[in-house]
Amino acid sequence: MKRKVYVIGTGIGGTQGLTREAAEILARCDCVFGEKDLLAVLSPVCPKVEQTKPEKIREYLEDRQDIREAAVLFIGDAGFGAEAEEMRSVLQNFCTITTVAGVGAIPYFCAQIGCSWQNAQLLAGNTSLEEMIGAVRTNERTFLQTGRYGTAQDVCGQLCSVGLGTLQVTVGEALGTARERILTDCAAELSLQKFSPQCVLLIQNPKPVRAQVRTCIPDNEFFHTGIPITRSEVRAVSVGKLCLQPDSIVYDIGCGTGSVSVECALQAPKGMVYAIDKNRSALHLTAENREKFKAYNIKPVEGEAPNVLRGLPQPDCVFIGGSTGNLPEILREILQKNPCVRIVLNAISLETVVQAVQCVEHFRLTDVDIAQVSVAKSHPSGGHKLMQAQNPVYVISGYGPYEGSD
C-alpha cells in the first residue's frame, strides 16, 4: 500500500490558523516536514524534519520505509502557490497525496483591508516579472505574493522602472502575526520602504489597458522630433516577421523613437520589450511614446549593444534597427543567450545588406527570408497627387540555432 503524504496549508500566522482537520492529521502522522519556524511551535508528538525541498523529502521517505503517513507544512493555503504544486508533482507517483487547505494570505488580506478579490488578477510567487507587469497593465486590481521578483519594495521599484510609480499599492506584511503591518501609498513611495520577504500586495490601476492589437500605427501618432523612425509600412512588415507571442521577451536594438517597441508591446501584453539605444534623447522619446500608448511593458535601456545586452533576460525575439557597426558581435551575443531566437533586422544601405547576409551565413541562421519593402507616398503637386518613392528597406529575418561559429 502506498504511503500517504498530506500537503497542509497552515493558514495565516503559522500553526495558529490550522483547521481542525489539519490538526487531527498532524496528531497521527509519523513525520512532519516544514520550515524551522513552523515546526518549532508544533507539539513534540512526532518527529519533525526541517526540510521543504521536494527531492530531499522524497529521498528521506525512501530511506524510511517505516513512515506510513507524513505531512508537509506550507504557510497559507497549500492550494495556491508554486511551492506546494511542485511538492505534489515530485511526490505524486511515489505516494498518495492529499491537500489540506488553510486560510490563504490573499483572502485574509482582503478581509483586513475590506476589499473583495472577486474579478481581481491573482499572481503566485513564481510569476515572472514580465507577467506581473502585464497583469498590472491590464487589470484594475492585481494581488500578488512576493517571490522570485524580490521583496515588496523591489516590486514597487520595478513598477517605477516601467512608468507605473504613481499606482496605489497596499502592502500586507507578517499577516496574522503580532508584527502585522499594512501600508498604502504610491509605488514610488513604497519603493523607499523596507519590508520582510513574505508580503502580499494589492496593486490598483484605475485605467487598465484593454486588450488591443494595433499594427501600422501612423507615423504622426508618435513623438519623433529629430530622431529617425521606422516608417509605418516597414514597421508593419518587420513586427509581423517577429512572430510575437503574448508573453514574448523582445529586444529592440537601436530603438530610436520606440515605434517598433510600442507595436511589439501592444502585441505581447504579457511580455516585456527592452528598448535599447545609446542615444539618451532617443530613450526619452521612447519613454514619451510608452506613456502615450500606455505600453508600460517597455523598459528603456541606455547603452550600446552588445555590451548592454549581457545583463538582460534571454530574448524570444530580437529586432535590430541599428547596430552602429557591431552587427556580428550583437548576433553572437543574442545567439549565445538563446540559440533559437527569432531575429529580424532592417538594412537600408547596400553595405549593411552585404554585412547582414554575411552574418546570416556565418551564424547559420535558419528559415532565412530577405524582403525588400519599397513604399511610395502620395503628395500634392499643382492640384494633382503624385507618388514619391521612399528609400527601399531590406527586412532580413531568420531563426538560430547558433552552433559555435566564431
CATH homologous superfamily of 4-103: Tetrapyrrole methylase, N-terminal domain (3.40.1010.10)
Other C-beta atoms within 10 Å of 332: how many? 18
Domain regions of the chain by residue span: 4-103, 106-204, 219-399
User: Which candidate, 105, 114, 34, places its Cα nearest to that of 70?
Assistant: 34
Query: What integer pLDDT is reported at residue 405 of this predicted model?
Result: 47
219-399 matches 106-204 in CATH topology: no
Model confidence at 318: pLDDT above 80: yes
Residue matched to cell numbers 486590481:
141
Could you please report the per-residue DSSP string of 210-249?
A: PP----S--GGGS--TTS----HHHHHHHHHHT---TT-E
Query: What integer pLDDT is reported at residue 15 of this predicted model?
Result: 63
Query: What integer pLDDT is reported at residue 132 of this predicted model?
Result: 87
Least confident of 16-25, 176-185, 225-234: 16-25
Query: What integer pLDDT is reported at residue 225 of this predicted model?
Result: 85
Model confidence at 76: pLDDT above 80: no
Task: Please state the length of the chain.
Answer: 406
User: Which candidate, 310, 268, 316, 265, places its Cα nearest to that of 291?
Assistant: 265
Could you please report the per-residue DSSP string of 175-220?
A: TTSTT-EEEEEEHHHHTTS---S-EEEEEE-SSPPPP----S--GG
Query: What integer pLDDT is reported at residue 19 of this predicted model?
Result: 82
Model confidence at 156: pLDDT above 80: yes
CATH of span 106-204: 3.30.950.10
Q: Copy the grid coordinates of residue 396.
A: 532580413
pLDDT higher at 46 or 277: 277
Residues near 195 by Cβ (< 8 Å), separated by ≥ 6? 146, 151, 152, 153, 171, 173
CATH of span 219-399: 3.40.50.150
Dihedral angle sign, alpha carbons of residues 74, 196, 176, 16: positive
Least confident of 137-146, 212-221, 258-267: 212-221
- Judged by DSSP in three states, 138 sits in helix
Model confidence at 13: pLDDT above 80: no
Q: Which residues pair with 212 in a beta bridge?
A: none
Model confidence at 149: pLDDT above 80: no
Q: What is the mean pLDDT of the chain?
A: 89
Q: How many CA atoms lie within 13 A of 81 on its CB side?
A: 25
**pLDDT tens readout for residues 299-309:** 999 999 999 99
List strands edge to edge, sheet with 69-74.
Answer: 48-50, 31-34, 69-74, 4-9, 96-100
**pLDDT tens readout for residues 270-285:** 899 999 999 999 999 9
Model confidence at 189: pLDDT above 50: yes
Mean pLDDT score, 48-69: 90
